A and B are shown apart, each in its own frame.
Chain A
């Protein structure tokens, strides 16, 4: 799994950090999403998908890798 984010779309809601704090963070200066784990380990996949699904700005894309 690979994650990409669209910083322009990000509205700083922080849902991703609340759900998957090992994968996402927010920048201190403006609250914009930061990806800590662009290729999250297996045990983080479910939470990562959930974070992407509920992002109010649809700013997180999850790409499945073989």
Chain B
């Protein structure tokens, strides 16, 4: 059977947590449009080449036909698991064309580089406090549980004006949204109901007593003339940002540190030259082989991609992590080069639907790395890198733990 006729199970198999799937190189070289079966049993086409993935993601004609509830991976989450079980979810965000652009611009101003720079001191203080607590407990521990996970949660909770004390509940709901395999349909439906009820209550409270946060401002803008978000859009925005701003960055902090410590000369190079932090964050995003499911696109007309015409009605899965290792787009793609510039990786997607929160994620990753380098220069992995375990079934990709000592 030729590679083009074979139907592969997706996600593909990996041998170790930080290394790419063996099939990526083969697929890019010989089968750029592969047929796959995804966990729900349906078939889709998988793109693994940089140019194809970028072209598909940037094409404004295509998103998901049933996208509801969020942005980026959160959108994926809501459709692939939770929202698939409810015929009409009470939350949504505009997905196409002008409505999407209008929504994006209303919300996008909260995520500008300047606003993120203004949040930096606050993020640094949170990171320092988390490390105080972690190092107070001994000289080794799980960096993910004590640092990588709580940091983005505190930050997004602050932006949404929700109490950080509720973070354990957010973690559960978020995991439920983003996990393809762990939860039953009943559990997913319950979690969606709980999160909708929670966020509805939160929005009602903000409506009654606005404060200086993103949701209060959106409510205020929506009550005026002209541009307005519906209640379902407001709910979709709150839920989408909570889910998207949480597990994605948390897992990426853990993966970034693990990649840098897996070959500790990388860590040492950063200690000597902290000005490499910015390009290192970009390279970690590019080099991350454990990037999760990828983004889906639903074709609403025939389109030629990778030399093949894909018919209207096809679901396409864009493997950004595979594209980011494409030798035709990145010189020495298999090498982690902390000074790589420019680095046009696709970890946040591309085009009109590229991740809304990418400046937030970048800033958090930079702050996390700066604070770790300053506070824990002796940091090293507490287990062999090959023993790190992937989180299975999670749409966004991550490690189950990042055991370190310092």
Contact = CB atoms under 8 A, between A and B. Distances in A.
Contacts of B348: 13, 56
Contact of B108 (A18, A21, A30, A56): A30
Contacts of A50: 341-342
* Closest 5 pairs (CB-CB, A-B): A14-B113, A17-B113, A31-B108, A30-B105, A53-B342
Interface in A1-40: 9, 11-15, 17-18, 21, 25-32
Contacts of A56: 58, 348-351, 354, 358
B154 interface: no
Interface in B77-132: 104-106, 108-109, 111-114, 116
B355 interface: yes
A31 B109 contact: yes
Interface residues of A, number: 24
Interface in B327-348: 341-344, 348
B356 interface: yes
Given A28-B109, A57-B58, A11 B342 contact: no
A15 B360 CA distance: 11
Give chain B's interface residue range (CB within 8 Å of chain A).
20 to 34
Interface of B: 58, 104-106, 108-109, 111-114, 116, 278, 282, 341-344, 348-356, 358-359, 362
A45 interface: no
Nearest to B110: A31
Contact of B342 (A30, A31, A49): A49
Given A50-B342, A56-B354, A12 B108 contact: yes
A33 to B, nearest CB: 10
A30 B344 CA distance: 24
B359 A14 contact: yes
Nearest to B356: A12
B354 A26 contact: no
Contacts of B362: 18
Contacts of B342: 49-50, 53-54
27 contacts: A11-B108, A11-B351, A11-B352, A11-B353, A12-B104, A12-B105, A12-B109, A13-B348, A14-B111, A15-B358, A17-B112, A17-B113, A17-B359, A18-B278, A26-B109, A28-B112, A29-B105, A30-B106, A30-B108, A30-B109, A31-B105, A31-B109, A31-B111, A50-B341, A56-B58, A56-B348, A56-B358
